[in-house]
Structure 1
Amino acid sequence: MDQSRYKQAKTQRGFTYSYYWSPPALGKPVLFFSHGFPENSFLWRKQVPFFESLGYGLFVPDLLGYGGTDKPTDPKIYTGSGHAHDLADILDAEGVKQVIAIGHDWGVYPVSRLINFYPQRVSACVFFAGSYAPPLPEGGDRISKHEEIKQRFGYDVFAYMRFFVQPDAAAVIEKHIDSFISLVWPETIQLWKDHLCVDGGARAWIENNKQSPLPWYMTPEEKGYLKNAFLTHGISAPLCWYKAMLEETTNEDDASANPPEAAEVKQPLLYVAFTGDCVSLPAMADAVHARYAKGLVTRKEIGGDHWGVESHATELNEILLQWLRGLDS
């Protein structure tokens, strides 16, 4: 991604964001690409040149805690409305009234809260490796509901989260960064089932400095970029996205979205299921969309695991392009 296209803007909350910006050609919409954990805007390196060449506008930020954006380490700051307000401020700075919002992994969260708090700013939405995330004022964190999830799906899907919210998690990860990278980007998805989705498995893998070969879709240069980013910026701020789930302020913030009315998705929604993903399970997404986005969902599938955005970029880009063109017809 062309570094000269990155800009910076300060939000009303006082945070400086770094973001890739490419204005749209006449008549083309702006696509907002929202990355998840633990990548920054680098995640979208295979989407940006493709859609930029077709004239689409591109707004691709390093979200709060990542890359060139500010990195507060108080989980209370990472509320859904906070993300939404920040992003709306940056869109205002660029004179963008409306976007098609596209999220991957944790990136689905700010997309969802834009829909809840600024529905007029989102003309359509897209979810990869995750679903629309409705506001849950009664508390909806996956950490406290792991027994329920284990009984439903047969394994401890979100076991790794209990490590990520521990006080020493960042120090452990940064000390064994190569091990962390090989766990997060596994050579095969079975590694996730054997370690990431086992209570204590993620900590044990990283503390013992276990490593596996890179997956076929990641080059040594790409790994080098990620490693440098993690060591330069640290991992404490990105882990706040997980810790925020346990904060009472998150429940209060979700309540301020005034569900159930604001929780309903009124925009066209594209969901691409990654059928090899054992964490962001398609069955979970399907249940959420059936409840909150009735009759508005276009569902597609690709055979990738959690990182299908990278491993199956050509196929995914074509699915997204055809859906975008369908919005105009």
Structure 2
Amino acid sequence: MYAFTQSFIETNGVRLSIAAQGAGPLVLLLHGFPETSYAWRHQLVGLSNAGFRAVAPDLRGFGLSDRPIEPERYTTLNIIGDLVGIMDALGETNAVVVGNDWGATIAWQAAQLRPDRFRAVVALGVPMMDRAPISPSRIFPQTEQAWFYTNYFSQPGQAESELELDVAATLRKLYFWASGDAGPRDQKTPNPFGLVARQAGLLGALPEPASPPTWLDKADFDAFVRAYKASGFRGGLNYYRNLDRNWELQAAFNGLPVQTPALYLVGEYDTGLAIPGMREIIGDMRKLVPNLRDSQIIQRAGHWLQQEAPDLVNAAVIEFLRNL
């Protein structure tokens, strides 16, 4: 049984649901897609026991938080504004920001733009990256037969129709095939972070897992299913529909390094590591993050790192926090 409290904060034109536990220096925990704040249940316990105030919001568009209709209200700057508003509502001047997947992207940019409010950053899975030379919609591969999953997600209505047809099956496939349970990443491994057949869709290439993920028990899986049955997937997909808009906005701070202390963790079997050039980006990350304290690969874990290896993630994050 988890002891965190659930409450709501009105800020930045939206009502946000937050899960919180503990007292002490503030740590903000940012989930990815398709997740909710519940993805941080292990960290809420671990961080609070270690003397920190752990707060995990349902980001706008997810869970119990508001889900604005307009796609343009889901830029990274909108979300960073939400985080500043959460800190203000909690009476906190600063926080350490921790993120996985989309949450990692937002965490990096939050620390990059507002080091006065985000005093350190921990990123899981997604490294800090330079601004691309051209817009994402043009840089990702696509043919008449297939396109990159981000291009597929960017088509209004198309991905929702597929993902919401059977929410439990969607989450079961995505959670399993992006996790360490699916094994090492190679050309023979079905990869949701790759090309999507235009006719078959994202899920068509992913066989039904023979068993549920070992790291996700039935009660926890059911919690995610209930959340997405209630919210749908559109809010999360709207983050992808702002990739080009984010790229345009990023021009204003292109080349600005992340100066705060930072920690990077990635699962050995993370699907992102199969993207060409990703390992080189991770190896060169200190050029963009000069105060990168450590970069760790968590053995046999995949993309849902904080859920798959909670003890190892908690230990690494707590050691980092105590050394700030």
Q: TM-score range by the shorter chain?
A: 0.7 to 0.9
Unaligned runs of 5+ in 2: none
Q: Which digits, 9 at most, give the CA deviation of each residue in 1:3-27, with x for residues without a partner?
A: 7722211113x111111234623xx
Q: Retained in 1: the 8 A contact 2:21–2:44?
A: no
- Corresponding residue number in structure 1 for 2:33: 37
Residue identity opposite 2:265 in structure 1: V
Q: Retained in 2: the 8 A contact 1:101–1:122?
A: yes
Q: Which digits, 9 at most, give the CA deviation of each residue in 1:215-269, with x for residues without a partner?
A: 111112222111111111111111001111134xx3342234x332xx2111111
Q: Retained in 1: the 8 A contact 2:112–2:259?
A: no
| Cα distance change on mapping 1:202 and 1:2 into 2, 3 Å | farther
SS of 2:242 mapped into structure 1: helix
- Corresponding residue number in structure 1 for 2:89: 93
Q: Retained in 2: the 8 A contact 1:131–1:288?
A: no
Q: Retained in 1: the 8 A contact 2:30–2:37?
A: yes
Aligned Cα RMSD in Å? 2.8
- Corresponding residue number in structure 1 for 2:219: 221
Q: Retained in 1: the 8 A contact 2:196–2:202?
A: no
What displacement does 1:190 show? 6.2
2:315 paired residue among 301, 318, 329 = 318
| Cα distance change on mapping 1:204 and 1:77 into 2, 3 Å | closer
- Corresponding residue number in structure 2 for 1:24: 23
SS of 1:232 mapped into structure 2: helix
Query: Scaled by the length of structure 1, what TM-score is found?
Result: 0.84
| Cα distance change on mapping 1:113 and 1:211 into 2, 3 Å | same
- Corresponding residue number in structure 1 for 2:53: 57
Q: Retained in 1: the 8 A contact 2:162–2:201?
A: no
What displacement does 1:82 show? 1.3
Q: Retained in 1: the 8 A contact 2:172–2:212?
A: yes
What displacement does 1:139 show? 4.6
1:185 paired residue among 170, 175, 182 = 175
- Corresponding residue number in structure 2 for 1:278: 271
| Cα distance change on mapping 1:293 and 1:209 into 2, 3 Å | closer
SS of 1:218 mapped into structure 2: coil
- Corresponding residue number in structure 1 for 2:140: 146
Instruction: State the alpha-carbon separation in 1 of the partners of residues 269 and 4 from structure 2.
Output: 36
Q: Retained in 2: the 8 A contact 1:9–1:93?
A: yes
Instruction: State the alpha-carbon separation in 2 of the partners of residues 323 and 309 from structure 1.
Output: 15
Residue identity opposite 1:109 in structure 2: T
Question: In proportion to residue count, which structure has more helix?
Answer: 1
Instruction: State the alpha-carbon separation in 1 of the partners of residues 89 and 122 from structure 2.
Output: 23
Q: Which digits, 9 at most, give the CA deviation of each residue in 1:255-296, with x for residues without a partner?
A: 34x332xx2111111011211112256615515623211253
SS of 2:266 mapped into structure 1: strand
Q: Which digits, 9 at most, give the CA deviation of each residue in 1:191-231, with x for residues without a partner?
A: 99425224318944635895212111111222211111111
2:249 paired residue among 247, 253, 260 = 253
Instruction: State the alpha-carbon separation in 1 of the partners of residues 221 and 311 from structure 2.
Output: 20
- Corresponding residue number in structure 2 for 1:176: 166
Higher mean C-alpha deviation, range 310-319 or range 34-43: 310-319
Q: Retained in 1: the 8 A contact 2:74–2:239?
A: yes
Instruction: State the alpha-carbon separation in 1 of the partners of residues 4 and 319 from structure 2.
Output: 29
- Corresponding residue number in structure 2 for 1:153: none
The alignment status of 1:105 with 2:136, answered yes or no, reads: no
Instruction: State the alpha-carbon separation in 1 of the partners of residues 109 and 4 from structure 2.
Output: 29
Instruction: State the alpha-carbon separation in 1 of the partners of residues 218 and 259 from structure 2.
Output: 42
Instruction: State the alpha-carbon separation in 2 of the partners of residues 71 and 239 from structure 1.
Output: 11
The alignment of Structure 1 onto Structure 2 pairs a total of residues equal to 308
Higher mean C-alpha deviation, range 165-174 or range 226-235: 165-174
| Cα distance change on mapping 1:320 and 1:61 into 2, 3 Å | same
| Cα distance change on mapping 1:69 and 1:133 into 2, 3 Å | farther
Query: Scaled by the length of structure 2, what TM-score is found?
Result: 0.85
Q: What does 1:281-300 correspond to in 2, within 5 Å?
A: 283=279, 285-287=281-283, 289-300=285-296
